[in-house]
Amino acid sequence: MAGNILAKIQKRIRNSMNEKADYIAGGGCLAVGASSDVAMEYARHAGVIEGLALAERDILDCVAEEKNAEEGIT
């Protein structure tokens, strides 16, 4: 059951990362105005993507550790 919950959370994180990346790639940051505002908007979205990627990596590591523990692999 915990694996199912983690898989759902991982999927939500991945979807959020994809949405942020699509926003950036589609020029969404350019719509905010002055170049300094564009830079801040880009940095903010890039930071969110980085944080989500770190969270996803932790979830994937935890799932792998649990799987290895169940199989008796250290």
Is residue 74's pLDDT more than 80? no
Residue 1 DSSP code: -
**What global pTM score does this model have?**
0.84
Contact 41, 32 (CB under 8 A): yes
The total number of residues written for the chain in this structure = 74
Query: Which of 1-15, 38-52, 56-70 has the highest mean predicted lDDT (pLDDT)?
Result: 38-52
Q: Is 21 exposed, middle or buried (0-12, 13-18, 19+ CB in 10 A)?
A: middle
Domain boundaries, the chain: 2-71
| 24-36 residue pLDDT tens | 999 999 988 899 9
For the chain, give the mean pLDDT. 92
Quickly list DSSP for 23-54: HHHTTGGGGGSSHHHHHHHHHHHHHHHHHHHH
